[in-house]
Structure 1
């Protein structure tokens, strides 16, 4: 296994040298920690760790925990450097998650429960496949943030509720298109009250901080009647008793559908229906700082629910690398992650479905919710 990892890293590094002349002195590598070798990483790790602790307000219960988190931090510095080699059009380095192991990160900050196979089975149930839309004349660049359909970046905290933020964000946009009013909606209602299950997988249900899926969340809303505002049902970041009050519904789902794995159809549905709920493989997101992520190697196992809000024709890439078309993704890890809470990932025929970004895309339409 170690030999295979070394081989993959060697191949990626060779490709980077050919395409971008990346070497130990390249600023892309120095961005992680000044210097180009692991000895330098070890020598400077403690000072960088101290800065990290101060910057992100970290605290540990005792000296043993501090020492353990320092060791994890050192490992993540090396991991960020590998990510930089494998994903040179983005910037990778120290983030607020740099003291978490990959397993801790997945368990705490991801939460997309089901596979593409499970989603496809839903096409014959309450969700239906989106009709094919014309793609002629689509603008080269589009961003729903410029049109008032995207709410503020939120923070899910240490709760695997990403799916609820993806679903609420899509409904916020759809409700704006239907009513002209942007309502900031409640994720906590999903966390506390939505236990909708996939009929084909009885053990796969929306489970609050333990994960869920956007399409079953939309199915729950159709049955419940709609979603309260965040103001009326505020987020706590932990599982709680359901306090849903139907009289306080501010947004309701009319219907929802699943978009085919086709970039043109995804873009057309984005323009027609507003921001889209999507799944993604978050392998590179723990170390992401900015730029257009387009890793040479990325799996398509989906483990994180996010919101697709727009796309661009040519995103900035570091020196010697061509600019790349990209998707604009709103995340739920706060504004102090990524590009003020946002992530960019490459798109286009030569990088189709990078990190599975096109594999699980759902659109929702809203109706105006009247209070009774």
Structure 2
């Protein structure tokens, strides 16, 4: 398979991804935590990559924004989609608007971070030249580095990582047309690569009581759920099928050491509790 756009699967650094620890040894056992279904749809904006092959940059920024929300007890911060795309391309050694890899994105997130969106805004056009304020960008990006990345190998890994609110799952798959549905019950791979963000579990469950997962796309609000445009729900069966496919990569990214938890005042708590 070589005809990929946006997410060039054939250029993944698989040796690097294979070197990451498995999630199963880094997440709490089922029953040892209260499974969370915090809904990111109120906190992470749905974006539109347009005609640029920047899906990986969008997915990476969404996962890292979710890490920031978790680390700060609910604070929002939009991170640079442009930096997520173009700097990953530099790591990958890819020239031109030909996408970027999950492995390159994880390296960027761990070693450099992503700056805030206003410092390197997304224009909807392919513009890989670094802005003139590069020192300010790298200093700002360092505040948003992630501390940990793990391989997601099974649905149970996916469920435990998402359910315990550790961070976002950075996903690259062979995208088929059926994947644009609101609810994806089974995986039908296509000839195009696409990167998306797995951010939390859904209240929907299968016949075994296993929760579906909410997946955030970067094609604006004309795909996915009618109730929640831009979002898809993936079934446990579909996730398991994806993870058995040779071109799938799912990497859980978490921990943002420089992010400070939000301090709540009495008035904050009154507002939350509606006292």
How many aligned residue pairs are there?
243
Taking a change above 3 Å as real, the CA distance of residues 210 and 152 of structure 1, as seen in their structure-2 partners, is: same
C-alpha distance in 2, partners of 1:262/1:305?
A: 18
CA offset digits 1:100-142 (Å, max 9, x no partner): xxxxxx86xx511225x945411465x4444342331266772
Correspondence 1:294 to 2:185: yes
Correspondence 1:246 to 2:140: no
Aligned to 1:154: 47
Aligned to 2:272: none
CA offset digits 1:206-262 (Å, max 9, x no partner): 557311123312312444x33221122211122221115332415422433232311
| Contact 2:102-2:170 within 8 A present in 1 as well | yes
Correspondence 1:367 to 2:257: yes
Correspondence 1:235 to 2:122: yes
| Contact 1:161-1:211 within 8 A present in 2 as well | yes
Structure showing greater Rg: 1
C-alpha distance in 1, partners of 2:181/2:190?
A: 21
1:353 pairs with one of 228, 240, 245: 240
Taking a change above 3 Å as real, the CA distance of residues 135 and 212 of structure 1, as seen in their structure-2 partners, is: same
Q: Which segments of 5 or more consecutive residues in structure 1 lack a partner in the other structure? A: 1-105, 198-203
Which of structures 1 and 2 has the larger relative contact order (alpha carbons within 8 angstroms, sep 6+)? 2
SS in 2 for 1:218: helix
1:145 pairs with one of 18, 31, 40: 40
Q: CA deviation at 1:314?
A: 3.0
Aligned to 1:330: 216
C-alpha distance in 1, partners of 2:28/2:209?
A: 27
Q: Which segments of 5 or more consecutive residues in structure 2 lack a partner in the other structure? A: 261-275
Aligned to 2:202: 312
Taking a change above 3 Å as real, the CA distance of residues 154 and 213 of structure 1, as seen in their structure-2 partners, is: same
Correspondence 1:274 to 2:167: yes
Correspondence 1:256 to 2:148: yes
Aligned to 1:173: 66
Aligned pairs for 1:61-80 (under 5 A) are none
Structure 1 vs Structure 2 CA RMSD? 3.5
TM-score (norm 2): 0.72
SS in 1 for 2:200: strand
Aligned to 1:51: none
